[in-house]
Amino acid sequence: MTVTAVVARDSGRRVQAAGDWPGARLFSDLPSMLAEPGLYDLVVIASPSSLHAEHANAVSVAGKPFVLDKPIATTAAEARQVLKAASSSGTPFTVFQNRRWDPEQLTLAALLKQGDLGKVHTFERHWERWRPKPQQRWKENDAVGGGLLLDLGSHLVDSATQLFGPVVAVYAETRALSTPTEDDVFLVLHHAAPGGQQAGRPGAVPGRATGADILFGEPPAPRGVVSRLWAGSLVGAPGPRTRVLGDGGAYLVNSFEGDASPFDVLDSEQPEGTHGWLVRGRERTAVPRPKGGHGDFYSAVADWLAGEADVPVDPADAVRTAEVLDAARESALEGRLVDV
């Protein structure tokens, strides 16, 4: 793929773009670029999250295929409207959920397929950083599109649902410790039971005993995996990146993309070509890493546009993620488990 046009409102960013992509046409606003459709075959929307819906709708009207950065929108209602606008205009698009191609995600997916963990009951992932001096960007300061729930939560929820299926209920805690928007997020996702089994009383939250259950002795409805997800910017000792627990063992990834972690020492003997450990008590075995990486996303986009492959990330997945994040906001405000 070749970059042929760039939109940047800030003059400094346009200067940077000119250096990064010599020969690309530079524009100060999206309408100006959309007025020259012969310059490009695909639009990549990487604007601040609060502008995603507006920009996606404009590109849909123009009829150009596009890649939309996550989150698809700031609310589920906006996300559904983006999907509807693209569908109505017949404009194909996909969502930049590049973390589906992380080494740990690919390795874990292969491990689950092999069945080495047995029946999985718990998925945990930490996306934690030590940033005592916050960066001054829209991600930290935008009251509408900023905050870690949208920024990292979009990835965390997508990763969990790709591995363990749809979410039926969510519990969340969020705090703003060092920035105007939340920089400390904790999510508990209750996934649907395998096969969609949701037995029990009508309206019962899967796996959650209510007052009626206790009073009348009714068992809670069956549930699937429980995911516990953390995101934080004021974490001096980031936790193990990923821990997946099953009745046949555990998958453990200690650190993430070179970020400092007190658990780095546990990877001192990690063999080349492996990622993470299969752990059973005191026993641990390095897990082979499948081929693949972030670059595969745009290779998949090229194949999709050529009609040789399915859409890399189904936008409907991003809408469901937005619904989970909406429920998480409600949970954090009300301090309760919320159905999705």
pLDDT in tens, 157-195: 999 999 999 999 999 999 999 999 999 999 999 999 986
Neighbours of 247 (CB within 10 A): 9
Q: What is the pLDDT of residue 266?
A: 75
Q: What percent of the chain has pLDDT over 90?
A: 79
What six digits make up the tokens of 26?
């530079």
The pLDDT of residue 135 is above 70: yes
Of all residues in the chain, what percent are helix, strand and coil, respectively (each to 5)?
35, 25, 40
pLDDT, mean of residues 39-54: 96
- pLDDT at residue 70, as a whole number: 97
Mean pLDDT value of segment 127-137: 89
Residue with tokens 């793929």: 1
What per-residue confidence (pLDDT) applies to 201?
35
Q: What is the CATH number of domain 5-97?
A: 3.40.50.720
Could you tell me which residues come within 8 angstroms of residue 315 by beta carbon, excluding any fewer than 6 positions away?
68, 72, 82, 83, 86, 93, 94, 95
Confidence (pLDDT) at 200: 37
Residue 212's pLDDT band, with cuts at 50, 70 and 90, is: very low
| Domains of the chain by residue range | 5-97, 100-294+323-339
Give the integer Cα–Cα distance in Å for 77 and 307: 30
> Rounded to 10 degrees, what is the CA torsion of 106, 109, 114, 118?
140
Fold topology of 100-294+323-339: Dihydrodipicolinate Reductase; domain 2 (3.30.360)
Q: What is the mean pLDDT of residues 201-227?
A: 54
- Please check the confidence at residue 146 and state whether its pLDDT lies above 80: yes
Q: What is the pLDDT of residues 48-85, one digit of tens each?
A: 999 999 999 999 999 999 999 999 999 999 999 999 99
pLDDT reading at 204 higher than 50: no
Amino acid at position 275, single letter: H
**78 CB-side CA count, 13 A:** 20
Let me know if 202 is exposed, middle or buried by CB neighbors in 10 A (0-12, 13-18, 19+).
Answer: exposed
Q: State the pLDDT at residue 142.
A: 80
Rounded to whole angstroms, the Cα distance separating 159 from 244 reads 13
One-letter amino acid identity for 327? A
Instruction: Categorize the per-residue pLDDT at 211 as very low, low, confident or very high, splitting at 50, 70 and 90.
Output: very low
pLDDT of the residue at 62:
97
Residues in the chain: 340
Mean pLDDT of the chain: 90
- H-run or E-run covering 167: strand 167-175
Element holding 186 (H helix, E strand): strand 184-191
- Reply yes or no on whether the pLDDT at 202 is more than 70: no
What's the token pair of residue 106?
């690919």
Residue 199 pLDDT more than 90?
no
Q: Is the pLDDT of residue 255 over 90?
A: no
Q: Backbone phi, then psi, for 229, in 5-degree steps?
A: -125, 135
Res 8 pLDDT > 60:
yes
220 or 120: whose pLDDT is higher? 120
Tell me the one-letter amino acid at 162.
Q
Residue 196's pLDDT is 52
- pLDDT category at 209 given cuts 50, 70, 90 is very low
- The DSSP bridge partners found for residue 232 are 128, 184
Annotate 85-149 with DSSP letters as a single string.
HHHHHT--EEEE-GGGGSHHHHHHHHHHHHTTT-SEEEEEEEEE-B-SS---SHHHH-TTT-SHH
Please say if the pLDDT value at position 208 is more than 60.
no
Band of the pLDDT at 221, cuts 50, 70, 90? Answer: low
pLDDT at residue 139, as a whole number: 82
